[in-house]
């Protein structure tokens, strides 16, 4: 499954190994010839090939089938996921980030982007040209949606099948390394989104070699075999992939997609095992490495240290924060928003991270979640957002919140996010209220698969409360084109002012320690008639959601107005009068 290239006096010698425990015969196609491979007791097949150095294409033949198959652990797929693999030498890249020591999550601002739609060109190199924009914005970590190879030219990245090979149309392995290296030169860390809960529907050849799949299924099809027979090597396949991104691509953190879909009944869960391995790698490399989970379980065990019986992940996405803000700002109550939308809900989330914490969920029809201990759990362990790829792209029209609420309420939402106790994350273009949607797009070459995906999306939207929605065709190239950012908007009225506001807000967060303080037990929240006050040490954040002025009393006399989202704010001794649909940050 892996290959090593070493230099010899006579040239290059590559050792090819692949795990195929149930095969009777495995042959290697490489350097213009077919070679028999020898098997060991663990089901690994091996062959040594002189003069098969970097750049050599190769494939495997299983048993009597003469169909060439790519390496399940291929590091490069220049002809796509169905084509031959190519020998790639990680040591050949000229890194310039030797002094880089990483970026920690506490105090950081994240920025989520999709390579294919972040720029018009949709490549790693084109993204490099926009990194200075992120530095000026005040971003610390760039979170990149999955980049491993999938079938077709473009999609979200969650249908990856070659987990070890960066997508060739984006720029391949060297292109991704150039992007990471360029980020580090500018002081930006890199978070990579990885998917270990399923293989994509087209080009998933690893299960042809070995029992990578379990008998059970999840939302996307067959689950990964993490606890059945032969699962030791499957777990190793997952963990080695994570270590590869962190070690060979110098990535600083991984965002683990939908970990609730990782079915593992072992005493030591895969996530705990992965955390231990990443901690060991971090110690060896001497730089900060982080793991961030996406989970809808509201289970603090994910982020509880291993020493205290948890899995030891460093953070998790917190959808409850998003839902509380979105439902309150937009008034939407369909689908899972039915449980959210009140000031009481938002107040609770700001204090305790989860809204559903062993409490009833109307959407699920059952109790959900488990409470955290705010005295022992820091807010930086929860990544919060006003928008992200899922919450935009899984809407029928892919419309952003900027298309749903007036600019005044958009600024209120941004203020609450970026002055809160959690680790804030922006979605690309949010900082200038981009007018471009971000829709669900695919480029499956197989007509049957394309049709099934489009039909499935329509059913999902009907279940979510959009039965009559005009759902864009995911396979239509125009759907993909519409989802690309329009960078020309930066110079247009409205967008230009919103960008300046976000820059000021992020700078304010970084200037005042009280605003980046992640201690949840120190936050004080009060809500009244359509208004909210949040005490953060010496700073008070106020938000008025009403269509009229609100006079809000304070315990202390206000000293300075650090930020006001709308003109017309008035300080009155121990009170503040807020304009309609506005927020303010005040030092007392």
Could you read off the pLDDT of 267-303 as tens digits, one per residue? 999 999 999 999 999 999 999 999 999 999 999 999 9
Is 296 annotated for ligand binding?
no
User: Once rounded to an integer, what is the mean pLDDT over residues 466-495?
Assistant: 91
Is 390 annotated for ligand binding?
yes
Q: Which residues are catalytic?
A: 257, 294
Does the structure show a pLDDT above 70 at 1?
no
Using left for φ > 0, alpha for ψ between -120 and 50, and beta otherwise, residue 398 falls in left
Is 394 annotated for ligand binding?
yes
What are the two backbone dihedrals, phi and then psi, of residue 232, each rounded to the nearest 5 degrees?
A: -55, -45
Is 90 annotated for ligand binding?
no
Does the structure show a pLDDT above 70 at 9?
no
Instruction: For domain 110-511, give the CATH number.
Output: 3.20.20.80
Does the structure show a pLDDT above 60 at 523?
yes
Is 298 annotated for ligand binding?
no
The CATH number for 522-587, chosen from 1.10.510.10, 2.60.40.1180, 3.40.50.1100, 3.40.50.620, is: 2.60.40.1180
Percent of the chain with pLDDT over 90: 89
Beta carbons within 8 Å of 473's beta carbon, 6+ residues apart: 454, 479
∠ Cα 264 269 273 (to 5°): 135
Cα–Cα distance, 499 to 434 (Å, whole number):
10
pLDDT at 123: 98
Residue extent(s) of CATH 3.20.20.80 domains in the chain: 110-511
Is 572 annotated for ligand binding?
no
Residue extent(s) of CATH 2.60.40.10 domains in the chain: 3-69
Does the structure show a pLDDT above 90 at 151?
yes
Q: Residue 381 in contact with residue 303, Cβ under 8 Å? A: yes
Domain 3-69 homologous superfamily, CATH: Immunoglobulins (2.60.40.10)
Nearest by Cα to 417 from 391, 451, 379: 379
Is 40 annotated for ligand binding?
no
Is 197 annotated for ligand binding?
no
- Token pair in block for residue 87: 């020998």
Residue extent(s) of CATH 2.60.40.1180 domains in the chain: 522-587
The pLDDT tens digits for 188-206 are: 999 999 999 999 999 999 9
């Amino acid at each position: 499954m892996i290959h090593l290239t070493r230099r010899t006096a006579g040239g290059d010698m590559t050792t090819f190994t692949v795990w195929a425990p149930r095969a009777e015969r495995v042959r290697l196609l490489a350097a213009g010839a077919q070679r028999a491979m020898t098997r060991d007791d663990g089901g690994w097949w091996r062959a040594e090939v002189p003069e098969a150095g970097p750049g050599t294409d190769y494939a495997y033949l299983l048993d009597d089938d003469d169909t060439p198959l790519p390496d399940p652990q291929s590091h490069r797929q220049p002809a796509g996921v169905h084509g031959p693999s190519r020998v790639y030498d990680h040591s050949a890249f000229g890194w310039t980030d030797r002094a880089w020591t990483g970026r920690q999550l506490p105090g950081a601002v994240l920025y989520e982007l999709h390579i294919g739609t972040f720029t018009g060109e949709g490549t790693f190199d084109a993204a490099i040209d926009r990194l200075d924009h992120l530095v000026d914005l005040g971003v610390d970590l760039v979170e990149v949606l999955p980049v491993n190879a999938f079938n077709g030219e473009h999609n979200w990245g969650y249908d990856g099948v070659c987990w070890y090979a960066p997508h060739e149309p984006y720029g391949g392995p060297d292109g991704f390394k150039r992007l990471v290296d360029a980020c580090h030169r500018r002081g930006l860390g890199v978070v990579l989104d990885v998917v270990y809960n399923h293989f994509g529907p087209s080009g998933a050849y690893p299960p042809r070699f070995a029992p990578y799949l379990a008998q059970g299924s999840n939302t996307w099809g067959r689950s990964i075999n993490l606890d059945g027979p032969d699962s030791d090597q499957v777990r190793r396949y997952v963990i080695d992939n994570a270590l590869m991104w962190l070690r060979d691509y110098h990535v600083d953190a991984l965002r683990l997609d939908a970990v609730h879909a990782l079915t593992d009944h072992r005493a030591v869960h895969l996530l705990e095992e992965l955390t231990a391995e990443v901690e060991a790698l971090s110690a060896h490399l001497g730089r900060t490495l982080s793991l961030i989970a996406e989970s809808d379980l509201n289970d603090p065990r994910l982020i509880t240290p291993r020493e205290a019986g948890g899995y030891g992940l460093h953070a998790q996405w917190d959808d409850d924060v998003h839902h509380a803000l979105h439902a309150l700002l937009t008034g939407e109550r369909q689908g899972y928003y039915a449980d959210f939308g009140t000031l009481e809900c938002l107040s609770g989330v700001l204090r305790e991270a989860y809204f559903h914490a062993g409490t009833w969920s109307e959407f699920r029809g059952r109790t959900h979640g488990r409470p955290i201990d705010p005295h022992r759990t820091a807010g930086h362990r929860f990544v919060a957002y006003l928008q992200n790829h899922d919450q935009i792209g899984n809407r029928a029209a892919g419309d952003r919140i900027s298309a749903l609420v007036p600019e005044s309420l958009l600024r209120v939402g941004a203020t609450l996010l970026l002055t809160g106790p959690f680790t804030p994350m922006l979605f690309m273009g949010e900082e200038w209220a981009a007018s471009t949607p971000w829709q669900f797009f695919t480029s499956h070459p197989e007509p049957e698969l394309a049709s099934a995906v489009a039909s499935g999306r329509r059913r999902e939207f009907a279940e979510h409360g959009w039965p009559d929605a005009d759902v864009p065709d995911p396979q239509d190239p125009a759907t993909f084109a519409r989802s690309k950012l329009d960078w020309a908007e930066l110079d247009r009225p409205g967008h230009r002012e919103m960008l300046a506001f976000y820059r000021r807000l992020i700078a304010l967060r970084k200037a005042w320690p009280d605003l980046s303080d992640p201690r949840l037990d120190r936050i004080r929240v009060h809500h009244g008639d359509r208004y909210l006050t949040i005490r953060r040490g010496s700073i008070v954040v106020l938000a008025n959601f009403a269509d009229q002025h609100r006079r809000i009393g304070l315990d202390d006399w206000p000293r300075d107005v650090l930020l006001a989202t709308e003109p017309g704010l008035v300080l009155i001794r121990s009170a503040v009068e807020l304009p309609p649909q506005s927020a303010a940050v005040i030092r007392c």
